[in-house]
Chains A and B, each alone.
Chain A
Amino acid sequence: MSLPSRSRIFRKDAEFERATRQIRWAVIIITFATFPLNTPQTLIVYGMTGLAVLYNLSRYIPSWVHSKRYGSPIAMLAIDNLFVLSFLCVIHTLVTPYSALLVFMIISSALRYGLRGMLTVTLAQATLLVASMALSPFPPIALDDGRSVVTSLLMLMAIGLFVERLTWMDRHERSALRTLSEETSAERERLLTLINTLDDAIFVLDAKGRVQLSNGVAQELTGYKTPLQLIELSAVLPLRPRAKPRAKPVQIMEAGPEPQRRRDLSLFQTDGTAVDLDIHVTPVHAGNEKDISFIVVCRDITKERSLERQREEFISVASHELRTPLTILEAALSTALLTKNLAPQLTILLEQAHRNAVFLASLTKDLTTLAQAQNDNIPIALAPVNPGALLHQLAIDFTPEAKLKNLPLQVVIAPDMPPLLTTEHHIREVLQNYVSNALKYTTEGHITLKAAPGKNGSVLFSVTDTGLGISVNDQQQLFSKFYRAEDYRTRQTSGTGLGLYLCLELALRLNAKVWCKSVLNEGSTFFLEVPPFSRLERDHGKVTEAQVSSLVDQL
């Protein structure tokens, strides 16, 4: 067995050293106490014991113990063995307290170095003992008593073997554990290195939200110079909604044991600048329910957000600036079209120009509305909304267009509609998009506008048509930006591809849901589910009972 490396968890060499010292003291005391005073060997034995005292004292000096020449356990074993053998030579017999040290040497070498160590020590002792018996100036153990010497040695070997077998399993278990712990610590090192090289701030929190582990970026983010051990995260990283720098810090753990992602929070620094963060909170269960910890990963998205804002602002400004010239263009073209006796060629050209001016105008209108919907700085204005009245008004607004296409508009409003506290013009915008799409893509049949109570006090609006229908493939992407169905028939109608994306954005703003169901060639139904009250903000906007009851009174 090779020399074991220094283990982190159990310093075996030091423990071995300590045990050996204690045994040595015991043997020295026994020798002083029991050795007869009036024998020829007394002086020699006392002298040797004195040397043993000095040697044992030296084993307390770290520089001595750690020196290469004398400090190694093998050197120590050799010195101790020579000592014992010298003792035995001087006092002629094995039947003394000193053989205890001999037994200990064999046992300890078995423990320390295994079977090979034990055999080597025993053989060395046997050889030296026999040699010393022959060479000693005092009458040694009688050579003719060789049988008892061999028996004694065999007995010692048996003890050594017994101990070695007994501890074999234990030693193997320990070495397996050591390998495991080395692997674990290597794993830990790798993980720590990985965590520290990441550009994202990482916090590991305990169940109470206190920091257990954090990386360099995390420390930099919090601005703390000292390690963040066991400080509550909300204390070092006060996160507030981006739109509300003065609000109370948000407790990101309060949302419960589900993984969550927040993109609406910022860290406001003392100089007034804000760091926008993309935050992932992942709960980690270790064993039972109670033993939960959280891994919080924060990414700095300030730059990203600012680019996003610039882009949104550009679109907003550009589309707004385009609006006036487009209005004038459309007005001029449509007025020109009213001229009597226009040449047919000219009519076609003017109509073409007019059609495209109208398209551009609706595109800029959608972009403007979209920019407004995405602008977090514009607060959501909440007011009581009567779903039935809203739907009726919508039907009235679209009646002229529906008549033109010969499509009956049906309105179905369930009794006992719950009232809503939300932004009416957002809901109207979404439903207008639905109805105008329905009119656009339906040639015969009818269009049904429906309002019914939904889950948990919400209202479920739907617009059903008997038009082209949407393929399953197209349904999945319907609400994405600039998406228009692959169906060639839809290409024949005008559309910016922004309408349903706008619906989705507006719905998100109201915590509402939009989706559709459709069968190709049979028709489609578009849904809008609006919660009983649209929260102003995810954390602070909870409407009180009083507000709801006053709203009910108003309706």
Chain B
Amino acid sequence: MSESTSKIRILLVEDDLELAGLYRMRMEAEGFEVKHCADGERALQAARDFAPALILLDIMMPRLSGFDVLDILRRTPETRNIKIVVLSALGQPSDIAKAKSLGADDYLVKSQVLVTDVMTRLHELLNLPSVKPAPQSE
């Protein structure tokens, strides 16, 4: 993806700054335009102003939880169609069911996926060819 065409925008909502830094670096390396928010309130603001194609959303955050952010985004006409992938440390089936019922497109558990897996899901959801298959020793 070259600099001249408009980049696909991704909003990264994550309060762990180290992890957020990594995701940001990775997404930018893959050619996305990334904006990062560390809490739910700012995420709502950014979802409107930045108009991303996809939001990578944490659940446990200060101020406003990811569930609330998800609920509000889905009720607001302007943000209703943004793709939302929840990436959380919560792994209980009930949490997953709740997020799905609130309208999350996918739910990934932090302890079960690697950054590469997250990126693969993003590409699938955005209908993009995958940048590079995960290296395998075959």
Kindly state the separation between the CA atoms of A334 and B131 in the bound complex, as whole angstroms. Answer: 11
A337 contacts B132, C-beta separation under 8 Å? yes
**Chain A residue nearest to B23 in the complex (CB):** A331
B59 to chain A, nearest CB (A): 17
Max chain B C-beta neighbours (<10 A), residue from A328, A331, A337 = A331
B114 contacts A361, C-beta separation under 8 Å? yes
Instruction: Name the B residues within 8 Å of A425 (CB-CB).
Output: 93
B136 contacts A494, C-beta separation under 8 Å? yes
Partner pick for A381 among B26, B93, B120, CB 8 A cutoff: B93
Enumerate B106-126 residues with CB–CB distance to A below 8 Å. 110-112, 114-116, 120, 124
Q: Does B72 contact A (CB under 8 A)?
A: no
A327 contacts B110, C-beta separation under 8 Å? yes
A258 to chain B, nearest CB (A): 36
Kindly state the separation between the CA atoms of A322 and B115 in the bound complex, as whole angstroms. Answer: 15
Partner pick for B26 among A331, A351, A355, A383, CB 8 A cutoff: A331
Instruction: Name the A residues within 8 Å of B136 (CB-CB).
Output: 355, 494
Q: Does B17 contact A (CB under 8 A)?
A: no
B22 contacts A332, C-beta separation under 8 Å? yes
Partner pick for B116 among A330, A351, A400, CB 8 A cutoff: A330
A404 contacts B133, C-beta separation under 8 Å? yes
**Chain A residue nearest to B22 in the complex (CB):** A331
Kindly state the separation between the CA atoms of A56 and B22 in the bound complex, as whole angstroms. Answer: 114
A353 to chain B, nearest CB (A): 10
Q: Does A493 contact B (CB under 8 A)?
A: yes
B22 contacts A328, C-beta separation under 8 Å? yes
Q: Does B134 contact A (CB under 8 A)?
A: yes
Kindly state the separation between the CA atoms of A259 and B40 in the bound complex, as whole angstroms. Answer: 60
Kindly state the separation between the CA atoms of A354 and B26 in the bound complex, as whole angstroms. Answer: 14
A338 contacts B29, C-beta separation under 8 Å? yes
Enumerate A337-385 residues with CB–CB distance to B below 8 Å. 337-339, 351, 354-355, 358, 361, 365, 368, 381, 383
A218 to chain B, nearest CB (A): 44
**Chain B residue nearest to A424 in the complex (CB):** B93
Main secondary structure of the interface of B (DSSP, over half): helix
Kindly state the separation between the CA atoms of A334 and B135 in the bound complex, as whole angstroms. Answer: 9
A339 contacts B29, C-beta separation under 8 Å? yes
Q: A338-B30, A351-B135, A368-B111 are in contact. Are A400 and B22 (CB under 8 A)?
A: no
Range of interface residues on B (Cβ < 8 Å): 20 to 34
Partner pick for B114 among A320, A331, A404, A493, CB 8 A cutoff: A331
B137 contacts A331, C-beta separation under 8 Å? no
Chain B 51-88 interface 0/1 with A at a Cβ cutoff of 8 Å (1 = within): 00000000000000000000000000000000000000
Q: Does B49 contact A (CB under 8 A)?
A: no
Q: Does A323 contact B (CB under 8 A)?
A: yes
Q: Does A335 contact B (CB under 8 A)?
A: yes
Partner pick for B111 among A338, A365, A381, A493, CB 8 A cutoff: A365
A493 contacts B137, C-beta separation under 8 Å? yes
Kindly state the separation between the CA atoms of A90 and B25 in the bound complex, as whole angstroms. Answer: 136
A358 contacts B134, C-beta separation under 8 Å? yes
Kindly state the separation between the CA atoms of A383 and B96 in the bound complex, as whole angstroms. Answer: 14
Max chain A C-beta neighbours (<10 A), residue from B93, B133, B135, B138 = B135
B93 contacts A331, C-beta separation under 8 Å? no
Q: Does B3 contact A (CB under 8 A)?
A: no
A328 contacts B18, C-beta separation under 8 Å? yes
Partner pick for A330 among B112, B115, B133, CB 8 A cutoff: B115
A497 to chain B, nearest CB (A): 15
Partner pick for B19 among A328, A404, A493, CB 8 A cutoff: A328
Q: Does A547 contact B (CB under 8 A)?
A: no
**Chain A residue nearest to B27 in the complex (CB):** A335
Instruction: Name the B residues within 8 Å of A320 (CB-CB).
Output: 111
Instruction: Name the A residues within 8 Å of B111 (CB-CB).
Output: 320, 323, 365, 368
Max chain A C-beta neighbours (<10 A), residue from B29, B110, B111 = B111
A338 contacts B114, C-beta separation under 8 Å? no
Kindly state the separation between the CA atoms of A361 and B133 in the bound complex, as whole angstroms. Answer: 17
**Chain B residue nearest to A326 in the complex (CB):** B114
**Chain A residue nearest to B97 in the complex (CB):** A383
Q: Does A63 contact B (CB under 8 A)?
A: no
CB-defined A-B contacts under 8 Å, sample of 23: A320-B111, A323-B111, A328-B19, A330-B114, A331-B114, A331-B115, A334-B26, A334-B114, A335-B22, A335-B25, A335-B29, A337-B135, A338-B132, A355-B135, A355-B136, A358-B134, A358-B135, A361-B114, A368-B111, A381-B93, A400-B120, A400-B130, A424-B93
Interface on A for B, CB 8 Å cutoff?
320, 323, 327-328, 330-332, 334-335, 337-339, 351, 354-355, 358, 361, 365, 368, 381, 383, 400, 404, 424-425, 492-494
